[in-house]
Amino acid sequence: MDQLRARGVDSATVSIPRSRDTDLRNWKECRRTVKGKDIVIHLAAKVGGIGFNQANPGSLFYDNAIMGIQILEAARLEDVKKCVIIGTVCAYPKFTPVPFREDEIWNGYPEETNAPYGLAKKMLLVQAQAYRAQYGMDIIYLIPVNLYGPGDTFDPAVSHVIPALIKKFVDAMEERKSTIEVWGTGGASREFLFVKDAARAIVMATERYSKPDPVNLGAGKEITIHGLVEMIRELTGFSGDISWDHSKPDGQPRRSLDTSRAKREFGFEAVVPFRAGLQQTIEWYRDTYYGKRI
């Protein structure tokens, strides 16, 4: 919303339906949600970390597919002028050459633990291109890398790697624990995009991009999970031991995006340094859940 206000958008003209009030798996609610709108940005998703993905493959596929399919069809029937679909890096093949280029998205099957989610989201790219071809709809498809930042989900049942690790380290310090456990080997790599950069990218694409080709949104930098753990350890001040549970999956071996298309097409480049973004996220968690900064 901050990005829209900065561009002079009246907040009274913007609606942000939440899952507690709106079920986008329901066709009538999809029609109601997009009725009278000029622009629809489809951010809704059922999503979680590796453990959540392993436990819920069926609902992850159905919920994400049906929400997106119905939103685009509702937007077509309601004559929405522009639709922005937020896809996922999980749609890429498991062994995509690094950095991931958009043209590689169909060259293999996604990593198994997140394939149902990734494929459900990738079907919306097919739908977007089909609707553009047949109905002339202005639909764009963006592929953000792993996002993080203040306001993230820190519930260990569904959280992604950064909030999960921040919670483990901060909670361990508060509870005076001497050891924390981390999943996997630490050898997998990830790229992360700060939430404010992601919001800016989405607004820039909405304003300036109107082509059928998908566009990566990322920071252009890669870090191993081991490196991430050590950085969060340092920023939180945790001095205890770290136990790596090698019986748990690493997920996709590497994730890092080629972000040149976003820069070329609508001028987006990430500006928040990763370390600074992590520090803000840690401080937000401490303020929100413990009412203090350490």
Catalytic residues: 117
N residues, the chain? 294
* Measured distance CA(19)–CA(24) in Å, rounded: 8
Distance, CA of 64 to chain centre = 13
CA distances from 135 to 39, 45, 114, 210 (A): 16, 25, 31, 15
| CB proximity list for 286: less than 8 A, separation 6 or greater | 170, 292, 293, 294
Signed CA dihedral, 222, 217, 157, 163: sign only = positive
* CA nearest to 70, candidates 108, 32, 99: 32
Strands 39-42 and 215-217: unpaired
DSSP 173-204: HHTT-SEEEEES-S--EE-EEEHHHHHHHHHH
Would you give the end-to-end CA distance of the chain in angstroms? 29
* CA nearest to 81, candidates 163, 151, 144, 139: 139
**Phi, psi for residue 47 in degrees, rounded to 5:** -155, 155
